[in-house]
Structure 1
Amino acid sequence: MTETPAKRRGRPRAYDPDLALAKATEIFWAQGFAGASLDDLSAATGMNRPSLYGAFGDKQTLFKSALDRYMDRSRAAMIEAFRGGGSLREVLTRIYHTALSFYLSEDFGGRGCFLASAGLGQALVDDEVRQTVADGMHELDRGIEGLLQRRQARGELPPTVDPIALGRVASMMMNALSVRARAGETREQLEATIPVMVGLICGSPVPEPQASE
């Protein structure tokens, strides 16, 4: 009688944690925290549940990691947009186009801002997520407020303008772009609103629509 050799366990599948987190982020972005099932997350990342738990913790911890990832990436992109040269009109235009690059995806279509699309729903039941979302929005407020203050000192805005209040309005306009992207408006529609928004902020006349012949 011969002994049957014991079957060796396969080595755990290697995975790229950055890629896995990126895939999980896309699922949360599209479906929200509640809508994203563990099966969906496992399929997207190529990791079974035990591996997923071992790498990222539970679903809530994974979501917060995805939220942090989005914050890091969007912050880096916005820093570049703010630092670029040009007039106030040019800087604001660049900032809004940078935002659209996150809100619209070649692969996933209009998805809006991750903070608004996925974060706000979970913020209702998770104080930590609520604080992260609020911090992200207020960070953008402060960035635009500082930009307007500096450009007002250079004479690009009238001295009667309140740069703090106007900065919040400019930030809210970005929130509107996010909502409309999520609702399915096209890139062309959204991009067409940017010159009008920038004109309102800078005090330039709003372009009138061309009369049809």
Structure 2
Amino acid sequence: MAWSWVRRLVQLYAGLTLYGFSMALMIRAELGLDPWDVFHQGLAERTGWSFGVVTIVVGAAVLLLWLPMRQRPGLGTVSNVVVIGLAVDASLRWLPAPDAWAWRAAFLVSGVVLNAVAGGAYIGARLGPGPRDGLMTGMVRRTGRSVRLIRTSIEVAVLAVGFVLGGSVGLGTVLYALTIGPLVQVFLPLLTVPERATGRTVAAGGSDSGEPAERAPGSSGTPAPTPAG
């Protein structure tokens, strides 16, 4: 049992750190970001804050929206707010901005793939969802609407606002939208820590609180959670 907790903690923080690094790769590629990062970048442009600070502030604000929905954050939720922002800023300090298109494309593709690995790692640690995923599941529970509708509505809204604020929308935005779900579906089962007590593996995105997790793609037409932070 003690070893299981050690693995979960190591996997959680390694995943969150890698997630921040993957974000930095996509930022340096300058080929477009995922919807939430378009929003973060737009706010950073307007406020003058670093990308990581904006990520932390937005994550904390989203976490406050959990209160009226009676969502319960876990260690992974709170860590998500802080660690990803610190990791992306640290990565941006030393990661160069390539000029050649081939290098930019390599940064983008690597960033998307590592983002999926990182998401599978921190979700698979089963220590609480990210604040943005928790907002989505809370709204689904409150409204009775489908995960697909709620998630799409949130991401279209933050993408539109981020674009207006000056965030980067482009090839990377499309690539992320098309590939992140299938990639997470590949990595998440490999990285989910098994539940020793029951001899079963908790479904993707589940937590120790007993909250129901989303179903994997193909199980009932509902997409598995993707790492939105």
Q: Do both share a fold (TM > 0.5)?
A: no
RCO (CA 8 Å, sep 6+): is it higher in 1 or 2? Answer: 2
TM-score, length of structure 2 as denominator length: 0.28
Question: Rg: which structure is higher?
Answer: 1
TM-score, length of structure 1 as denominator length: 0.29
